[in-house]
Amino acid sequence: MPGKDILQLINQESFLNYCFKRNSEDVKYWEEWLQKHPEQVKQIEELKKMLILMGQESRKKISQSNFAELQHKIAHSKVDVKSKTFSLWKKWSIAAAAIFIIIAGGLFVSQHSGEIVEIVNSNDISPGGNNAVLILANGQRVDLAKVTTGGIVSQSGIKIVKKADGQIVYEISDVIGKVASDQYNTIETPVGGQYLVNLSDGTKVWLNSGSSLRYPTKFVGHYRNVELKGEGYFEVSANKAMPFKVSNTRQTVEVLGTHFNIMAYNDEPVVKTTLLEGVVKVSAGKANALLQPGQQSKLAGSGIKVIDDVDLEDVVAWKNGYFKFNESLESIMNKISRWYGVEVIYETMPDPDLTYSGKISRSRNISAVLKIIGFNSDVRFKVDGKKVYVIKQ
């Protein structure tokens, strides 16, 4: 897998946060990465010093010698990040990367930063958050965003509790015989929502925006069956006697106890199942695949393709509060559409073979995310109400 070069690094918000100590999580991430890759320390430190120097020089003109030095370093350096992902930004310019990185008060902009994102009527769009609706067995709908900490409801021996951190937990009554075995609940996250639910067997499920999970209030029988629409990250409680199954309209994933992510949105052409720990079996019709940690299955039509050495940080970035892009523009905009609740309109459909890279917090307004995407690329954006126009430069 090709390494990322210097130009990629200076476009990563997390790396810039590390250099200028603006975010403790990013500082920790890069310090740990350097410990694992000591052979890259010298080059990373040289780049860090140069960026800091440019920050100091931003209050006055950058000297020709400094500019020439940075040009030389960018042109002749490569950092082997080994991220197992393909990139990069289209048509990077050494001069643009050097002189148009303006470091003043922690702000980084590109040559055409003022044109990347146009916000009509100054109406920027806020990010999504912890929002979901719980649908009980009797059809009652509970808006979890409006529920205070404590018990939500009791149903046939099951107590559903909302914790202080927002997650909901299913607690089985001491009188097990009272628990009905045929009752199902559904939790739905709207566009711009996400949620964490603890099932009655101890399994944790994180739901991404525009997703739903249907599950029994108590697991009985030979399998623990749940139904997923959209995207979910699962940490399944181990129980060899009762395997856990996650089904959607196109495939079934069977596990004993493991950590994995499933992305199965109806508007995505491929269903992706990625394994972080344990072993899972993916089945679709007559096709099936056994995944090991670090592998990802891709289901398109009736065929299953297994990819090795997947970048797990990319896959679960949404769960950890980040967008981390290494994909086509259309795929990126699908994620933005779901998280910010916007309609994306293309002036010209993007090239599906062109890959864009970047990392930014999901807690940022939409304009900040679009600037990362548009940085030194050939597209700009116009945000008008709940519509985002993608315009080719």
One domain, residues 217 and 278: yes
Closest CA to 390 of 337, 327, 353: 337
pLDDT of residue 217: 87
- pTM for this model (two decimals): 0.70
One domain, residues 96 and 122: no
What's the CA gap between 149 and 162, in Å, rounded? Answer: 5
One domain, residues 200 and 343: no
One domain, residues 214 and 329: no
Q: Please answer whether residues 274 and 296 qualify as being in contact, where contact means their C-beta atoms are separated by less than 8 angstroms.
A: yes
One domain, residues 179 and 38: no
> How is residue 239 written in tokens?
């129980």
- Give the end of a domain, one of 78, 111, 144: 111
List the chain residues with pLDDT less than 70.
1-11, 22, 50-116, 120-122, 151, 155-157, 173-181, 376-377
One domain, residues 208 and 278: yes
One domain, residues 195 and 291: yes
Phi, psi at 199, each rounded to 5°: -75, 170
| pLDDT tens, residue by residue, 244-297 | 999 999 999 999 789 999 999 998 889 999 999 999 999 988 889 999 999 999
Q: Which amino acid is located at 113 in the chain?
A: S
One domain, residues 122 and 138: no
- Give the end of a domain, one of 314, 329, 344: 314
The CATH number given to whatever domain includes residue 374 is: 3.55.50.30
Tokens 């100091």 found at: 56
pLDDT of residue 298: 94
Q: What one-character DSSP code corresponds to residue 11?
A: T
How far, in Å, are 2, 23, 221, 375 from residue 15 at the CA level? 19, 10, 49, 16
pLDDT of residue 180: 54
pLDDT of residue 273: 96
Q: What total of structural domains would you count in the chain?
A: 3
State the CB neighbour count (10 A cutoff) for residue 250: 15
Phi, psi at 379, each rounded to 5°: -130, 155
- Give the end of a domain, one of 314, 333, 367: 314
pLDDT of residue 53: 58
One domain, residues 133 and 272: yes
The CATH number given to whatever domain includes residue 135 is: 2.60.120.1440
Enclosing domain of residue 331: 117-126+321-392
Contacts 24+ apart (CB under 8 A), 33-37: 37/80, 37/81, 37/82
One domain, residues 11 and 100: yes
What's the CA gap between 178 and 49, in Å, rounded? Answer: 66
